[in-house]
Amino acid sequence: MTDNINPSHYKDGPFECIELSRLLSSDWGQAVQYCFRWQHKNGVEDLKKAFWFINDAITHNVPFFAACCKRNADILEAQAIRLLSILQAENWADLEQFWRNLKWGDRVDVLEALTEKINEIEKEGK
């Protein structure tokens, strides 16, 4: 039986995707969710959606972390870095460079890593 409310493509990683995305602002959290699941749901379309959310966040200066949690910013940052390190180390969703750039705050480089992955997939015809 499938769970349409909390499907496996969000739970089958090294941790549940919500553990990371709840720490982030809406745009950044959406992008993480699309990248986390892309191989198990909509393929390259999900990566393109993630690109859109990241580009929107950069264009509109959307903060990386959720606004409601500013007083715990150091704790949030440490938790996010820890979770992003896990994704990077496991090369989760074949996006090691994406997770690395996100972890170190290289927001524009995140777009570049995503663009390279999208181009690679489209070149291979997946």
Average pLDDT over residues 26-42: 95
pLDDT, residue 113, reads: 97
Longest dimension (CA), the chain: 46
Q: Is the pLDDT of residue 6 over 90?
A: no
Render pLDDT for 61-111 as a digit per residue (tens, 0 to 9).
999 988 765 667 888 889 999 999 999 999 999 999 999 999 998 888 999
pLDDT, residue 3, reads: 60
By C-alpha distance, which of 15, 20, 45, 48 is closest to 32? Answer: 20
Render pLDDT for 99-115 as a digit per residue (tens, 0 to 9).
999 999 888 899 999 99
Q: Is the pLDDT of residue 9 over 70?
A: no
The pLDDT confidence band at residue 116, using thresholds 50, 70 and 90, is very high
- Is 14:90 a contact under the CB 8 Å cutoff? yes
3-state secondary structure the chain: CCCCCCCHHHHCCCCCHHHHHCCECHHHHHHHHHHHHHHHCCCHHHHHHHHHHHHHHHHCCCCCECHHHHHHHHHHHHHHHHHHHHHHHCCHHHCHHHHHHHHCCCHHHHHHHHHHHHHHHHHHCC
Average pLDDT over residues 13-37: 95
Q: Is the pLDDT of residue 125 over 70?
A: yes
